Structure 1
Amino acid sequence: MSDRIMRRSLRICTTAFALIFALSASSCGGDDSIHSDAAIDISKLDSGNYPTTPRDIDSTRTDDTSAIREAIRIGEATPLVMDIDNRFIFDYHKFISRTITPQSSPNFTGIKLESGEFNAIAPGLVAGWYTFGQRREKSDAGREIEMEVIRFSSADRAKTATQALADRTAGESFRIPEYPEARTTYTAKVAYGSPWLVSWLAHGDMLLYVRVYDPISIPFNPAEQADLVKRAFDKQVEMLKGYSPTPLDQIESLPLDVDGLLSRTLPFDKDNKPGGSDRSDPSAIFPKHAALHFDRRPNVAMAAFNDAGLDNIAVSATTIYRTRDAPSTSRLIAALEAPVVDEDNYAKVDSPANLPAAHCYNAKPGISRASDYPPVCWIAFDRYVAKVTGRNIQDLHQRTAAQYKLLASGR
Structure 2
Amino acid sequence: MRHHTGRLPSARFGLRATAAAILLFSALAATGCGSDSHSPGDQPVDLSKLDTGNYQTKPQDFVPKDAATAARTAEALRLGDIMPLPMEIDPALTNHAFGEHVLLTGDSYDGWVDSDHFGTDAPGYVTGFATAAETTPVSGMYSLSDTVMIFDSDADATNAAGALARSGLDLKSLQTGDPSATAQSPQSTLHPSAQIRWSPEEQALASWYPTGRFIIFTLIHRGENAYLQDYWHIAADPAPLALADKAIDLTADRLKSFQATPPDKLAGLPLDPDGMLRLTLPRPDGDQTANAFTGTLDGHGALHAEDDPNVAPALFEKAGIDRVSYGAGQLNRARDADSARAYLDAAFIDRFRHPIAPPPGLPNATCTQYRGPDPHRFPFDCHVVVGRYVASVWSQQQQDVYQRISAQYAILANGK
Q: TM-score, normalised by structure 1?
A: 0.85
- Residue 387 of structure 1 corresponds to which residue in structure 2? 392
CA 1:118–1:35: 2 relative to 1, 3 Å: same
Q: Output the amino acid matched with 2:101.
A: R
CA apart distance, 1:27: 2.9
- Residue 134 of structure 1 corresponds to which residue in structure 2? 134
Q: Is the 8 A contact 1:91 1:297 kept in 2?
A: yes
CA apart distance, 1:208: 1.3
CA apart distance, 1:82: 0.6
2-structure distance, mates of 1:395, 1:334? 23
- Residue 15 of structure 2 corresponds to which residue in structure 1? 19
Does 1:212 find its partner at 2:220? Answer: yes
CA 1:246–1:371: 2 relative to 1, 3 Å: closer
Q: Is the 8 A contact 1:66 1:252 kept in 2?
A: yes
Q: Is the 8 A contact 2:22 2:314 kept in 1?
A: no
Unaligned ranges ≥5, structure 2: 169-181, 226-233
Q: Output the amino acid matched with 2:345.
A: A
CA 1:34–1:122: 2 relative to 1, 3 Å: farther
CA 1:11–1:348: 2 relative to 1, 3 Å: closer
CA apart distance, 1:18: 4.2
2-structure distance, mates of 1:369, 1:74? 30
CA apart distance, 1:271: 4.7
Kindly report the root-mean-square deviation, in angstroms, between the aligned alpha carbons of the 2 structures.
2.7
2-structure distance, mates of 1:391, 1:107? 25
2-structure distance, mates of 1:11, 1:396? 18
Which residue of 297, 315, 318 corresponds with 1:307? 318
Q: Is the 8 A contact 2:150 2:157 kept in 1?
A: yes
CA apart distance, 1:324: 0.5
CA apart distance, 1:196: 1.7
Does 1:317 find its partner at 2:317? Answer: no
Q: Output the amino acid matched with 1:410.
A: G
2-structure distance, mates of 1:400, 1:260? 19
Q: Output the amino acid matched with 1:235.
A: L
1:102-158 deviation line (CA, Å, top 9, x unaligned) = 48653453x4332xx2012210001111121222232233x2212221011011110
Q: Output the amino acid matched with 1:300.
A: V
Q: Output the amino acid matched with 1:250.
A: K
Q: Is the 8 A contact 1:126 1:153 kept in 2?
A: yes
- Residue 350 of structure 1 corresponds to which residue in structure 2? 357
Which residue of 36, 40, 45 corresponds with 2:41? 36
- Residue 265 of structure 2 corresponds to which residue in structure 1? 250
2-structure distance, mates of 1:250, 1:104? 25
CA apart distance, 1:23: 2.2
Runs of 4+ in structure 1 off by over 6 angstroms are 10-14, 367-371
- Residue 87 of structure 2 corresponds to which residue in structure 1? 82
2-structure distance, mates of 1:83, 1:369? 26
- Residue 171 of structure 2 corresponds to which residue in structure 1? none
1-structure distance, mates of 2:385, 2:85? 29
Q: Is the 8 A contact 1:35 1:380 kept in 2?
A: no
Does 1:100 find its partner at 2:103? Answer: yes
Does 1:328 find its partner at 2:333? Answer: no
CA apart distance, 1:24: 4.1
1:312-358 deviation line (CA, Å, top 9, x unaligned) = 1111112111001001112221233212xx11xx4212122332221
What SS class does the counterpart of residue 151 from structure 1 fall into?
Answer: strand
CA apart distance, 1:234: 0.7
2-structure distance, mates of 1:77, 1:410? 30
CA 1:17–1:177: 2 relative to 1, 3 Å: farther
1:365-384 deviation line (CA, Å, top 9, x unaligned) = xx899995432111000000
Where does 1:160-239 land on structure 2 (aligned, <5 Å)?
160-169=159-168, 171-189=183-201, 194-217=202-225, 218-222=234-238, 225-239=240-254
2-structure distance, mates of 1:65, 1:15? 20
Q: Is the 8 A contact 2:55 2:404 kept in 1?
A: yes
CA apart distance, 1:229: 0.6
Q: Is the 8 A contact 1:17 1:291 kept in 2?
A: no
2-structure distance, mates of 1:14, 1:287? 22
CA 1:98–1:144: 2 relative to 1, 3 Å: same
- Residue 5 of structure 1 corresponds to which residue in structure 2? 2
CA apart distance, 1:259: 3.0
Deviates more, 1:236-245 or 1:354-363: 354-363
Q: Is the 8 A contact 2:60 2:279 kept in 1?
A: yes
Q: Output the amino acid matched with 1:54.
A: P
Q: Output the amino acid matched with 2:217.
A: Y
CA 1:48–1:172: 2 relative to 1, 3 Å: closer
Q: What is the aligned residue count? A: 386
Q: Is the 8 A contact 1:75 1:128 kept in 2?
A: no
CA apart distance, 1:281: 7.4
